[in-house]
Copies of this chain bind each other. A is one copy, B any other.
Amino acid sequence: MNAIILSIGDELVLGQTVDTNSAWLSQRLASVGCGVSAHATVGDDQGAIEQAIRQSAPRCDYLLISGGLGPTADDLTRQALAAATGEPLELNDRWLAELQTFFAARNRPMPQANRIQAMIPRGARMIFNTAGTAAGIEASLEACRVFVMPGVPQEMKIMFEGDVLPHVRAAGGGAVILSRTLHTYGLGESAIAEKLGNLMRRERNPSVGTTLASGTVSLRINARFGSASEARKQLEQTAEACLSALGSLVYGQDEQTLQEVVGDLLKVRTGQSVATAESCTGGLLGKLITDVPGSSAYYGYGWITYANQAKQQLLGVPPALLREHGAVSEPVVRAMAACAQQHAASTYALAISGIAGPAGGTPAKPVGTVCISLAHPAGAEARTFLFSGDREFIRDRSAKIALTMLRYHLLGEPTPF
What CA separation (Å) do A157 and B293 show in the bound complex?
34
Q: What's the minimum C-beta distance from A48 to chain B, rounded to whole angstroms? A: 6
Contacts of A72 in B (CB 8 A): 189-190, 193, 200, 209-210
Contacts of A106 in B (CB 8 A): 386
Decide if the interface of chain A is mainly helix, strand, loop or mixed. mixed
Contacts of A55 in B (CB 8 A): 55
What CA separation (Å) do A343 and B167 show in the bound complex?
57
What CA separation (Å) do A280 and B286 show in the bound complex?
11
Contact status B310-A194, CB under 8 Å: no
Interface residues of A in 180-223 (CB under 8 A from B): 181, 188-191, 193-194, 200-202, 207, 209-213, 220, 222
A73: CB under 8 A from chain B?
yes
Contacts of A35 in B (CB 8 A): 13
Residue in contact with A304 in the complex, picked from B38, B158, B283, CB distance below 8 Å: B283
Contact status B43-A37, CB under 8 Å: yes
With both beta carbons as reference points, the residue of chain B lying nearest to A2 in the complex is identified as B13
Contact status B39-A12, CB under 8 Å: yes
Contacts of A284 in B (CB 8 A): 283, 287
Contact status B278-A283, CB under 8 Å: yes
A10-B220, A202-B74 known; A390 and B131 CB under 8 Å? yes
- Interface locus among A16-24, A88-96, A140-148, A400-408: A16-24
Contact status A73-B111, CB under 8 Å: no
Residue in contact with A20 in the complex, picked from B18, B27, B386, CB distance below 8 Å: B18
Contacts of A245 in B (CB 8 A): none
Q: What's the minimum C-beta distance from A389 to chain B, rounded to whole angstroms? A: 6
What CA separation (Å) do A189 and B36 show in the bound complex?
32
Residue-wise, chain A 110-126 has the 8 Å CB interface mask toward B (1 for contact) of: 01011000000000000
Most B CB contacts (10 A, CB to CB) among A188, A200, A357 go to A188
Residue in contact with A44 in the complex, picked from B14, B209, B305, CB distance below 8 Å: B209
A152: CB under 8 A from chain B?
yes
What CA separation (Å) do A19 and B23 show in the bound complex?
8
Residue in contact with A287 in the complex, picked from B26, B70, B282, CB distance below 8 Å: B282
Residue-wise, chain A 373-414 has the 8 Å CB interface mask toward B (1 for contact) of: 000000000000010111111010000000000000000000
Contact status B36-A293, CB under 8 Å: no
Contact status B16-A181, CB under 8 Å: yes
A71: CB under 8 A from chain B?
yes
Contact status B40-A39, CB under 8 Å: yes
Contact status B19-A12, CB under 8 Å: no
12 contacts between A and B (CB under 8 A): A10-B209, A11-B209, A12-B39, A13-B26, A16-B179, A74-B210, A131-B389, A131-B390, A278-B286, A282-B295, A300-B307, A301-B305
Apart from A15-B28, A113-B194, A302-B305: 19 A-B pairs, beta carbons within 8 A: A9-B211, A10-B209, A10-B220, A10-B222, A13-B36, A15-B22, A16-B23, A16-B179, A16-B209, A72-B190, A74-B210, A105-B388, A106-B386, A111-B191, A113-B193, A152-B212, A283-B283, A301-B305, A314-B314
6 closest pairs, A vs B, by CB?
A282-B290, A283-B286, A15-B26, A300-B307, A302-B304, A283-B283
